[in-house]
Amino acid sequence: MSDIIQLLPDHVANQIAAGEVVQRPASVVKELLENSIDAGATSIKLLIKDAGKTLIQVIDNGKGMSATDARMSFERHATSKIREAQDLFNLHTKGFRGEALASIAAIAHVELKTKQENDELGTTIKIEGSTVALQEPIATAKGTSIAVKNLFYNIPARRNFLKSDTVEMRHINDEFQRVAMAHSNVSFLLHHNNNEIYNLRENNLRKRIVALFGDKMNEKLVPIKEQTDIISINGFVVKPKFSKKKRGEQFFFVNQRFIKSAYLNHAVTSAFEGLLENGYYPSYFLYLTVPTDSIDINIHPTKTEIKFDNEKALYAILRATIKHSLGQYNVAPILDFDRDANLDTPYHYTKKEAVSTPSITVDPDFNPFKTEVSSRITTSKNEQTHYKKETANWEALYADIDILPEEKQQVFFENDDEVATKKTFQIQKKYLISTIKSGIVLINQSLAHQRILYEDFLANITVKEASSQQLLFPVNINFSKQDAEIIYHLKADLESAGFMFNEFTKNNIVVSGIPTSIIESQTTFILEQLVDDLKLEIPDASYSHFDVMAKSFAKSLAIKTGISLNQKEQENLVNNLFLCKEPTLSPFGKPIFKTFTLTEIDTIFNT
């Protein structure tokens, strides 16, 4: 039998490759824009006609091409960007496969004009169906202009498959946005049918995002920043209350390349845990920078998926960083520092400084008396669901406290006995009532104290100068074999929290120093409680245990129900609570207080 295998002619091979690389006009846009970026352009114009079906033109002021390179650029596997396979793991360019121009030229009419800076004349080339129709010198500006006309003119099936102009233009817009977002230091222009859609000046990241998504975006952004050995993270997440029902604005850039990653998206989503209503998705603009040899970009023809070497670590860092930022910017109800302290940026605690303005979450419409009056207090614990809508911050809550003369109002927050005495009452050794301008606030004393202690611990741990007190008589604690195993892994974390140990073996620990916030006699109880709490946690090696520790200590040490507090103690508790970063919820997510407005109270009495 005769041989039947043949090498495909180039133009056929190119058309096949085009099937992968060029699915629609937007794919051409992506490739051309990326080539301009790779050419070092600082200004890029994208001109579109009929959603790209008639014309896609990109004009840049990049480095241009020589006459020979201009011709070469349309050959398959022709690239200036890599030389050997090894270079795939040291990529600093968007392109490297050398097939975009060849593919595009196989399925459209292409006109190229290009000139290098020091050349007098440039080159123009016209290609139709992979064959060069014209090449000649021409006078043109420095840089490159590529016009792609009549896309898929020779593949009717493909052309007919294109969607409406609106849909195709949306895809083009998406690609344009991604490139523009990844390169805020480049200016971009987008015209469709001679109408200007975007005119973006070179700018910082935040302004670029706002220019693309509208002025309102500015107030919605929470900055994200982290720098570690294996990754640096930059960018923004959108405050949870502005999250969307669609997965619209979710952007990851890795080394300035837009990528899709379900895995990293999961990390972000899980950082928003408890902050989003069902069916809502977080929006984010996250820029990750990783060493070029720690990723593989060549796993997908359009290069929108990449493989990371240390995915798990990246996941953990990303999640922790976002949680941290949400907490710091007071958007998250629960502070969460379950992360390696090394990764923490110092956590500035504002207790002694001027009062900051944490937001309080109160439902102004909630009327506790709609149901049973008598169960008012005892049901308050179950009122979590009513703490949803964000209204006034605490400043407004306490503004113009009407019993006090104007100039004394601030004093209330400085634990001034005299002025404050009239202002709080303890009831049932369980709740505190404090008067406020708009009515009263009912506070659960134990939960309030938990919050104060929790933030105190975290502040101490994260600023890394946890204060210790030396024990006069070191405390010897024996743990069961299983418990000893747990505590054994905590030594470093405990030390950062302010514990000191004379001995720390698998069977026995001798505590010689404790954090100042802990009472000596409670040392054993607190550590035992911590072990119990840790047993309930899902172990995850990539996290430190600070958060569990802080929660556990807060729970152990907080004053309980049944403890009566003198006036001064009540005042301190109330004042310190409202100096917390997040006074609304206990470390375990329970509401700490509830306000009752005068209007609500009036309705009880029908007045």
Binding site for ligand ADP (CB under 6 A): 31, 35-36, 39, 60, 62-65, 73, 78-81, 95-102, 144
Closer residue to ligand ADP (CB): 102 or 592: 102
Closer residue to ligand ADP (CB): 129 or 513: 129
Closer residue to ligand ADP (CB): 99 or 600: 99
Placement of tokens 């069977």 in the chain: 507
Residue type at 569?
E
The full DSSP string for 72-111 is HTTSTT--SS-SSGGGGGS--SS--SS-HHHHHHHHSEEE
Q: Which option in ligand ADP, Mg ion, none does residue 113 bind, with CB closer than 5 to 8 A by kind?
A: none
Q: Which option in ligand ADP, Mg ion, none does residue 65 bind, with CB closer than 5 to 8 A by kind?
A: ligand ADP
Closer residue to ligand ADP (CB): 93 or 269: 93
Q: Which residues contact 414 (CB under 8 A, 6 or more apart)?
A: 575
Q: C-alpha 204: how far from its chain's center?
A: 18
Closer residue to Mg ion (CB): 100 or 557: 100
**Closest C-alpha to 361, from 599, 587, 597, 585:** 585
Q: How far is the CB of 72 from ligand ADP (least distance, A)?
A: 7
| Interface characters, 60-99, with Mg ion (x: CB under 5 A) | -----------------------------------x----
Output phi, psi for 238, to 5 deg.
-95, 135
Asked whether position 35 contacts Mg ion by CB under 5 A, the answer is: yes
Q: How far is the CB of 185 from Mg ion (least distance, A)?
A: 20
Asked whether position 100 contacts Mg ion by CB under 5 A, the answer is: yes
Q: Which option in ligand ADP, Mg ion, none does residue 73 bind, with CB closer than 5 to 8 A by kind?
A: ligand ADP
Return the bridge partners of 148, or none.
56, 110
Measured distance CA(196)–CA(193) in Å, rounded: 8
Q: How far is the CB of 103 from ligand ADP (least distance, A)?
A: 8
Closer residue to ligand ADP (CB): 35 or 444: 35
* Strands annotated E in 239-313: 250-254, 257-259, 284-289, 295-296, 307-308
Q: How far is the CB of 151 from ligand ADP (least distance, A)?
A: 16
149-160 per-residue burial string, b: 16 or more CB within 10 A, e: under 16: bebbebbeebee
**Closest C-alpha to 595, from 467, 433, 469:** 433
Q: Which option in ligand ADP, Mg ion, none does residue 260 bind, with CB closer than 5 to 8 A by kind?
A: none
Asked whether position 235 contacts Mg ion by CB under 5 A, the answer is: no
Closer residue to Mg ion (CB): 29 or 466: 29
How many residues bind Mg ion (CB under 5 A)? The answer is 3
Closer residue to ligand ADP (CB): 144 or 584: 144
Q: How far is the CB of 499 from Mg ion (least distance, A)?
A: 57
Q: Which residues contact 130 (CB under 8 A, 6 or more apart)?
A: 10, 11, 14, 74, 102, 105, 106
Q: Which option in Mg ion, ligand ADP, none does residue 152 bind, with CB closer than 5 to 8 A by kind?
A: none
3-state class (DSSP) for residue 185: coil
Measured distance CA(322)–CA(315) in Å, rounded: 11
Residues that bind Mg ion (CB under 5 A): 35, 95, 100
